[in-house]
Each structure stands twice: as structure tokens, then as C-alpha cells.
Amino acid sequence: MKPINKTVFITGTPGVGKSTLANLIEKKLSWHLIKINQFAKERKLFSGTDKEKGYKIIDLGVLCPEITKTISEISLDESAKIVVDGHLSHFCHGADLVIVLRLNPSILKKRLKKRNYSDSKILENLEAEALGVCSLEAQEIHGNIVHEIDVGKLSPADILNTVNEIINGEKSFPVGEIDFLNWIVDN
């Protein structure tokens, strides 16, 4: 496998640990970090507010070209490496590798309950995780550069090691091997 050495997108359902991992990549590997939510807020890339759910909707049509442009600018420094953190990152282009973090919905539920999410928002996210929505979307857009990691039993440092192994071409975790569909049946 060819080592991947430039731009990594980290995606997955809210609460799976994307920011924790991306922050670690920035700190330990000194990569440039683009946090999609912060990036959109700073540049006011919103198309409106979801009236029912009350959150601002990021305009992907504006976000994605801005992300691509920013990646190109950072990449002018040939040694620069970039990590893009966000559950919308996989809708954008410019990745050499897309990592989807997966977490058993029963563990995710505990994490989301600690956030101020409504019951309906928690259920929506748990169902999305059980169905593997982010992985399917990412694979449709990015094909075989997408890998998914089941992080349920891994510490952030373990996840970083796994990502490093993928980056170095030592390991591969293609989409389709993680199956949380039982959670739907049991709930």
C-alpha cells in the first residue's frame, strides 16, 4: 500500500471522538488543523437556521470550495500536512485519506446524553451511526480512500496509532466490516 502523506479528513457521527483525535494529530504530529464548525462560523458560511432543530445550517456549496482553497493554500508549503475535522468534512474534496470513526450506538448514547441534545436529536444520531450513514456517504464520494475504525475499545492514543498505520500504508480498514445494525433490532 502506498503511504498517504498529505491531507486527512476525520468524519463520523457527532460524539464519536473526531475532535479529540484531530486535536491529538495537531498536537503530536504538528499537522495543520481545520475544524469545519469553527471554520464555517468564522467565515459565516451558513445558509439559514433549521426552524425545527434550532441550529444553523452550514452551506456546503460555499463551505467545500473554501475548504479546497484553504487546503491548496496550506499545501503551498510542500511539507505541510493537514487534518480536517468535522461530520461534514466528507462532503468536501481534497482528501488523500478519509477516516470515519465508528462507535457502537449504545456507547455513543451515553456520550450524547452528556451533551445538551434533545431526545429526538440523540435518536437521530444513534440511528445514523447504526446505519453507518457517514461511511456510506463518504464512500460514495471518495471511494476506496475511506477507512472506518471501530473506536469503542480504543483510547485516543490507540486511535492515533491506528491512523498512523493507515497513513503509513501498514493497515487498511475498508468500509463495510463494521456492523452496528443489531442496535436497531434491539432498540
Q: Does 111 bind ligand ADP (CB under 6 A)?
A: yes
Distance CA 129, CA 182 (A): 12
Q: Considering only residues 40, 67, 151, 175, which one is a binding residue for ligand ADP as defined by CB under 6 A?
A: 151
37-45, 135-143, 149-157, 166-174 -> range binding ligand ADP (CB under 6 A) = 149-157
Residue 17 binding ligand ADP, by CB under 6 A: yes
User: What ranges in 51-181 are assigned the alpha helix state H?
Assistant: 60-74, 105-113, 119-131, 133-142, 156-167
Minimum CB distance to ligand ADP smaller for 99 or for 151: 151
Q: Is position 154 an interface residue for ligand ADP (rule: CB under 6 A)? A: yes
Spatial distance between the Cα atoms of 120 and 4, rounded to a whole number of angstroms: 38
**Is 106 a binder of ligand ADP (CB under 6 A)?**
no
- Interface residue with ligand ADP among 4, 7, 18, 99 (CB under 6 A) is 18
| DSSP 8-state secondary structure symbol assigned to residue 90 | G
d(CA 62, CA 157): 34
Q: Which of 143, 117, 144 is nearest to 128 (CA)?
A: 117
Question: How big is the site for ligand ADP, counted in residues (CB under 6 A)?
Answer: 14
Give the CA dihedral 177, 181, 183, 187, nearest 10 degrees.
Answer: 180
Q: Which of these ranges, 12-20, 57-65, 73-81, 116-124, lies near ligand ADP under the rule CB under 6 A?
A: 12-20
- Cβ of residue 99: shortest distance to ligand ADP, in angstroms? 12
Name which position in 19, 37, 70, 75 contacts ligand ADP (CB under 6 A). Answer: 19
Q: How far is CA 175 from CA 43, 127, 131, 140, 148, in A?
A: 33, 18, 12, 11, 6
List residues near ligand ADP by CB under 6 A: 12, 14-20, 111, 151, 154-156, 159
